[in-house]
Structure 1
Amino acid sequence: MRSPAPKLAADSSFVRELKRLLSRLSAVSAADSLVSLFSDNLRYSSFACGTAGEKLPDGQTIKPELTAQLWFLAEQMLGLIEGSSPADTLVRSARLLGCLQLTAPVSPRRWRERQFGYKLLHRATLSLRLLDHALAHQLITEPTLLLHFRQRQPQNPDCSYRLQVQMPLLVALMLLDAGQLDGKAQRLLTGYSGELDSSRALSAEERAEYLQLIQDGSQRLAQQALVVLPYRGNDKQQRQQHQHSEQQKLALVRLLLQQQQQPLSLLGNLLKIPQVYSSMVLPGRQRYVYEALPKASLLLKDSARRGQLHSTLVEHFLQITGVFPQGFGIAFTPQQHDGSQQEKYELAIVNQLYPPNIAEPLCRVVSRNLQYRRGGHNIRISIAHNLYFKPARQRLATIPKQRLQDILTQLSADWQPGQIRSFIPRCWHPEQFFQQAEHQNLWNNAVLKHN
């Protein structure tokens, strides 16, 4: 598992903006954060139902307001993810996914921040891109959704696609894991007085009960806490239009949450596939191994074969993400102008969606002679030169021993002779590199080369 890197420099403006949104989502100390509002609403609903062990905070006598803040947070998320054009949106989406991958916390104590901040934004970005893709390719043929999609106007904040489709999708994603904050679910994990290790492996019975509690809590919020926001004005016709629009949005939220439980539902898989993928590529699981992250694509395909996910949508999802997650560290052997392989390797970071070949990531080169650099070019890295794959590692291992020792000495001071093959990296960990603000702009325009 990767180790947390120390903060080395001030963050870039985008990373600062991202951290502000993460705080709005997951700060326990903020009364209006998503985590606090979910916790308060779940506690109130349990108390109202007479659930044993549930008490309200001092002074709380009415149900906390939730709906308006959910729409506000959805708007904030869209502002970070969506761009002024389809091309700009893809760049912003790749940047957000990469930043989340490169900065996600690993400490178990920060599970709320990771679950309701990092993973939520990661899933939201992927769900929005999968929604666009599915509608553009008419995988989803629901007439109302298609109509909104065809009428979309990226630069118009009042666009119906944004208000009636994208925002309900994000609210559904926010509610998806809200049940994790339910008192019963928390007590199952930690015990009544915190005597249990929340990261322990649950038995089959405990896991089934835990998942049911999460689902029940999320559905309870969707049914009881979501309300039509009041219309502010005196125009009767506009009031009716407002109420109809709000009811349609809430209906879509509830429909998405219901269909998320159906493995072969196209609408449900807009939530389910990103949920499964993000849980595999971001830290949090006991089985999390950075070097194994590209295998998430294989696990998705396996789940589709077993009927747990929609197979067609999984294939299209992987067209968007490729095999290598955004922000993943790639080690590769550069190709010379005559097509031959150089006797060295360099470092890159995956920075673009929609690779032409899902196994050939689009990256930003961040080293020259294994020294970090700024202003590198973009590159499409072929299987033959990507050290994640065995053929490239075997080719590098045929380099004369002394030359390979010279290369490895630049990378690590503690390697031992006889470990040459094991020191040929399959990938690298770019978290410390990304801690420096000067290295955080991996998504500006750059020349694309093939390797």
Structure 2
Amino acid sequence: MTTNLSDSDYTRSVQSLINQIQQNSTRKDSFFELAQIYYTSCQADAGTLRTCQANLKGAEEYLETVSESKREYAQKQVKKFARELKDEEQKQTNDRQLRYKCLANICVNVLRLTEGKNLQQTNLKSSKLLATLFMLSSTESSNRQQMHHLYKPLYKAVLSLRLLDKMLLEGKLNNTYITSRFDSNTRFSQKAGSYSQFQLDVAIPVIIAALLQDIGMQHPEAQRLLKGADSSQDEFRVLEKETRTILLIINHEQTQDFLTNGIGISKYEGDDPEKKQRFEKKQLNRMKFVSGLLLDAVKPSENSIGNIIKIPQIYSSFVLSTKPTYRFLDLPNVVTVLNNSAKHAFICSQANECFIQLVGYFPLGLGVLYVQPHDIGEKLNNYFYGIVTRLSPEHPKTPTCRRISISKDISDNPKDFTLLESNNLFFDTPKHCLDEMSPEDLVTLRNTHMRQLNETKLPEINEGFWNPHHYFSISKHQILWD
């Protein structure tokens, strides 16, 4: 993926992970590209396998009836077709294992970037990744839809993991597969490069389910409906209801097919039959759990595990929208979208409450404008800029932020702070603190802020928040979590 960002090492690692998941490359080695290759070749591969099997069966039947004079030739034919069948099976197994290893490597990298030794470290690392994804994705560029499309699977996977933990800690999950493997003392690995049993049995399958949720859209028939037979249509256009319904059916069916036949389970490396049996049983249980998550997410019930990936899917589709129109000022309305979904029983109300407590009203990476707490009630001549940087705010309407503005008035204040509703210029009441400032003074102040932040444009205070994409594109500004 081309970018004009001056990336830090961290943002480069995030971009690398995005590229592992999905990109448009000549090498065709990202996970979504491998899925597309599978969908375009699976029928031909199945046909080749059937031909090899039929050839061998025919040769074996011929061997049973052939005369002694032709027996040697018939035996050679059996060996030839047996070798061809074995080679084809091995080729298809290798292709499947390549896809599996690609996915496994992605999951390991997701855990590496989002999970620490405890919940506190994990929430910090996840906050950093989610905010980075949001700030890297320009909302104003011509390729905004494509960029959001590429970032969304990773964004959704991270949110799914954190919702899983939130619901477990609050006792809001009753799925036996999950709860029987959960112990808060052993949830996270204490050693770098190793993984807890919960991470292997539950966390990684949740990542897989979140990443695979829309993988069926890579199927040729789905691509034809999205882009047209000659690829001339805009895949991000608003679809007719009938077309969307057909696409959802194709996506669900083909996603399940890809999970079973395109990925399967990891190959056991060893000679111990008992260990192999235990290994394959664990692998099959994990894939069964993934399949259940995907199935339940189509229409999750009140207590369905599908909510773990369905709610992040709705949230991600709003924050990283691929719709033709995108209004940055509408972002805090995502909570209203979630609440309406819960009201109409599209998602679980308890799970939705957990999720809103997790993310708050203001998406991670969103820029905020605020006035100083001790100045409330006074007439002011300044306001300041910050960025939302933490999951799990004290209250959904009071985000945890990092101070961005440079001013002697706030130099002694901590860099990280909880932005109260009474100080947040997104809300109407705090704006009155600046009523006595003249339009000219406001313009002068805004120009001062633009110079300090290296921003070419900043919003008026009546908009209440700002887009930090350009600010974050400067590498020295990417250290927001030191």
**TM-score category by the smaller chain?**
0.7 to 0.9
Q: Does 1:426 align with 2:464?
A: yes
Distance 1:338 1:210, change over 3 A: closer
Q: Which deviates more, 24-33 or 175-184?
A: 24-33
Residue 387 (structure 1) shift = 1.1
| Aligned counterpart for 2:423 among listed residues 367, 370, 385 | 385
Partner deviation per Cα, 1:50-91 (whole Å, 9 max, x = no partner)? 9xxxxxxxxx99543222322222112111111122111111
Deviation at 1:34, TM superposition (A): 0.6
Aligned to 1:272: 310
Amino acid at match of 2:210: L
Q: How does 1:2-401 map to 2 (within 5 A)?
A: 7=4, 9=6, 11-29=7-25, 30-47=27-44, 63=92, 64-65=95-96, 66-104=99-137, 114-115=148-149, 117-150=150-183, 151-156=186-191, 157-264=194-301, 265-336=303-374, 340=378, 342-369=380-407, 377-399=415-437
What residue ranges of structure 2 are gaps of 5+ in the alignment? Answer: 48-87, 452-458
Q: TM-score, normalized by length of structure 1? A: 0.86
Instruction: Please list the CA deviations of residues 183-241 of structure 1 after superposition, one character each: whole Å capped at 9, or x if unmatched.
Output: 11111122111232323221111222222222222122123223222211122332122
Q: Say whether the 8 Å CA contact 2:376–2:430 is kept in structure 1.
A: no
The match for 2:477 is: 439
One-letter amino acid of the counterpart of residue 94, structure 1: S
Secondary structure of 2:299's counterpart equals: coil
Alpha carbons 2:405, 2:449 under 8 Å: kept: no
Aligned residue type for 2:294? L
Q: Take 1:371 and 1:31, find their aligned partners in 2: how far apart are those partners?
A: 53
Partner in structure 1 of residue 51 of structure 2: none
| Number of residues of Structure 1 aligned to a counterpart in Structure 2 | 421
Change (3 A) 1:113 1:36: farther
For the 8 Å contact 1:366–1:372, the answer to whether it is kept is no
Over the matched positions of the two proteins, sequence identity in percent amounts to 27
Gaps of 5+ in 1: 51-59, 414-420, 445-451
Of 316-325 and 241-250, the range deviating more from structure 2: 241-250
Give the Cα–Cα distance (whole angstroms) in 1 for the partners of residues 159 and 144 of structure 2.
Answer: 23
Checking the alignment, whether the CA contact within 8 Å between 1:346 and 1:367 is kept in structure 2 is yes
Deviation at 1:296, TM superposition (A): 0.2
Name the one with the larger helix percent.
2
Which protein shows a greater Rg? Answer: 2
TM superposition shift of 1:283: 4.0
The letter for the 2-side match of 1:438 is K
Corresponding residue SS for 1:364: strand
Q: Is the 8 A contact 1:336 1:342 kept in 2?
A: no
Q: Distance in 1 between matches of 2:269 and 2:124?
A: 37
- SS for the counterpart of 1:312 is helix
* SS of residue paired to 1:309: coil
| 35-44 or 138-147: bigger deviation | 138-147
Using the TM superposition, name which of 300-309 and 386-395 deviates more: 386-395
Corresponding position of 1:55: none
**CA separation of 1:371 and 1:292: change in aligned 2, threshold 3 A:** farther
Segment of structure 1 superposing worse, 142-151 or 119-128? 142-151
Deviation of 1:155 (Å): 2.1
Q: Deviations over 1:318-369 (max 9, x none)?
A: 1110100000010111233797463211100000111111101110010125
Instruction: Using the TM superposition, give the Cα deviation of residue 14 of structure 1 relative to its aligned residue in structure 2, in angstroms.
Output: 1.1
Aligned residues of 1:28 and 1:35 also touching (Cα < 8 A): no
CA distance in 2, matches of 1:261, 1:363: 35
Aligned residue type for 1:28:
N
Closer, same or farther in 2 for the Cα pair 1:235/1:388, shift >3 Å? same
SS in 2 for 1:385: coil
The letter for the 2-side match of 1:38 is A
- The answer to whether residue 448 in structure 2 is matched with residue 410 in structure 1 is yes
For residues 277 and 323 of structure 1, the distance between their equivalents in structure 2, rounded to whole angstroms, comes to 11
Structure 1 pair 314–326 and aligned structure 2 pair: CA distance change class (3 A): same
Q: 1 CA distance for matches of 2:356 and 2:153?
A: 19
Q: Residue deviations 1:100-132, cap 9 Å, x none?
A: 0001255676766643x4111111111101101
CA separation of 1:167/1:194 partners in 2, compared to 1, >3 Å: closer, same or farther? Answer: same
Code of the residue aligned with 1:37 in structure 2: it is L
For the residue of structure 1 that corresponds to 2:402, the secondary structure is strand
Letter in 1 for 2:231: G
Instruction: Confirm or deny: 8 A CA contact 1:188 1:210 kept in the other structure.
Output: yes
Residue 244 and residue 344 in structure 1: after superposition, are their counterparts in 2 closer, same or farther (change >3 A)? same
Cα deviation digits, residues 145-170 of structure 1 (max 9, x gap): 22322042422524110110011111
Distance 1:180 1:110, change over 3 A: farther
Deviation, structure 1 residue 443: 1.2
Q: Distance in 1 between matches of 2:156 and 2:314?
A: 9
Q: AA paired with 1:296?
A: V
* Contact persistence 2:144–2:322 (CA under 8 A): no
Most deviating of 102-111 and 302-311: 102-111
Counterparts in 2 of 1:164 and 1:112: CA distance versus 1, 3 Å: farther
Please give the alpha-carbon distance, in whole angstroms, between the structure 1 residues aligned to 2:144 and 2:444.
Answer: 41
CA distance in 1, matches of 2:379, 2:33: 55
Give the Å deviation of 1:287.
3.4
Q: What is the RMSD of the two structures over their aligned residues, measured on CA atoms?
A: 2.9
Three-state SS of the structure 2 residue aligned to 1:331 is strand
* Distance in 2, Cα, partners of 1:27 & 1:216: 23
* Greater alpha carbon shift after TM alignment, 350-359 vs 279-288: 279-288
Q: Judge conservation of contact 1:389–1:426 (CA < 8 Å) in 2.
A: yes
Distance 1:111 1:342, change over 3 A: closer
Q: Does the aligned pair in 2 maintain the 1:228–1:246 contact within 8 Å? A: yes
Amino acid at match of 1:213: I
